C-alpha cells in the first residue's frame, strides 16, 4: 500500500517546483523556458512535475496569483504597521524603489515578457483586466482609509489617483528593466511623484517625523 500524500506535502512540493520554475524563467526568460528545463532544475522526475503542472503557462499563472495575494497582504500589513495612512503610503513608495534596484534579478521582467508576448493575441487579456481592476481597488481603498481618518482631502477622485499610482509603478518598472534604476533616475522620479501625490491628497501640514524616518531608511 502506497503512503498517503498529505495536503501539506502536496503544497510544499508545488512550491518547490514553482521555485525551480522561477529560477529558470529569471535565468533564461519565460519564452525560452520549457517544461524540460524546469524538470531538470527541480531535480524531480518528469512525472513528478507533471503531476502538479502541465505547462510553463500554468506555472506562470500561479506566480501571478501568488504575487497578487502578496500585494493584498502587503497593503493590509502597511495599514496596521504604520501610524498614519500617509506614512504607510510612503513605505509603499520606498518598497517600489527597493524593487527597482534589483529588478533584473527578480521575476518582474519575466512577467512583463510574458504579458507583452501575449498582448497581440489577447492571451492574458481577461487576467490582466481582473488584475488591473483589483489593483485599482486595492490602492483606492487605502486612500479612502486616509479620507476616513481625516488625513486626506484629495483634489481629484481616489479612483484616478489609484490609477496614477499603478501607471507610475508599471511605467517606472519598464524603464528600470530597460535602462537600469540608476540611469533612469528612478529615485528622483519616485520622490517627485511622492510630493505630487502629497499635494493631490490635500496634505498641507509640515512633514511628520515618521515620514522623515521612512524616507531616510
Domains of the chain: 1-54 (1.10.10.60), 57-216 (1.10.357.10)
Confidence label for 15 from pLDDT (cuts 50, 70 and 90): very high
**Is the pLDDT at 196 greater than 80, yes or no?**
yes
Between 217 and 150, residue with greater pLDDT: 150
Q: How many CB atoms lie within 10 A of CB 159?
A: 14
pLDDT in tens, 81-96: 999 999 999 999 999 9
Do residues 111 and 50 lie in contact, with contact meaning Cβ atoms separated by under 8 Å?
no
pTM: 0.83
pLDDT, averaged across the chain:
90
Residue 17: Cβ-neighbour burial (10 angstroms; 0-12, 13-18, 19+): buried
Amino acid at each position: 500500500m502506497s503512503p498517503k500524500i498529505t495536503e501539506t506535502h502536496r503544497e510544499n512540493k508545488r512550491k518547490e517546483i514553482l521555485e525551480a520554475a522561477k529560477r529558470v524563467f529569471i535565468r533564461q526568460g519565460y519564452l525560452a523556458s520549457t517544461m524540460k528545463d524546469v524538470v531538470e532544475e527541480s531535480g524531480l522526475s518528469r512525472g513528478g512535475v507533471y503531476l502538479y503542472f502541465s505547462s510553463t503557462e500554468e506555472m506562470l499563472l500561479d506566480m501571478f496569483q501568488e504575487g497578487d495575494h502578496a500585494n493584498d497582504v502587503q497593503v493590509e500589513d502597511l495599514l496596521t504597521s504604520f501610524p498614519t495612512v500617509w506614512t504607510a503610503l510612503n513605505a509603499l513608495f520606498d518598497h517600489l524603489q527597493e524593487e527597482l534596484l534589483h529588478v533584473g534579478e527578480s521575476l518582474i521582467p519575466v512577467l512583463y515578457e510574458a504579458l507583452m508576448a501575449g498582448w497581440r493575441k489577447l492571451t492574458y487579456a481577461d487576467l490582466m483586466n481582473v488584475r488591473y481592476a483589483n489593483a485599482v481597488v486595492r490602492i483606492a481603498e487605502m486612500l479612502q482609509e486616509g479620507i476616513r481618518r481625516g488625513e486626506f482631502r484629495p483634489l481629484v477622485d481616489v479612483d484616478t489617483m489609484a490609477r496614477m499610482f499603478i501607471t507610475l509603478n508599471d511605467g517606472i518598472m519598464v524603464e528600470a528593466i530597460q535602462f537600469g534604476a540608476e540611469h533612469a533616475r528612478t529615485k528622483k522620479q519616485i520622490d517627485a511623484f511622492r510630493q505630487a501625490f502629497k499635494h493631490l491628497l490635500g496634505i498641507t501640514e509640515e512633514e511628520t517625523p515618521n515620514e522623515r524616518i521612512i524616507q531616510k531608511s
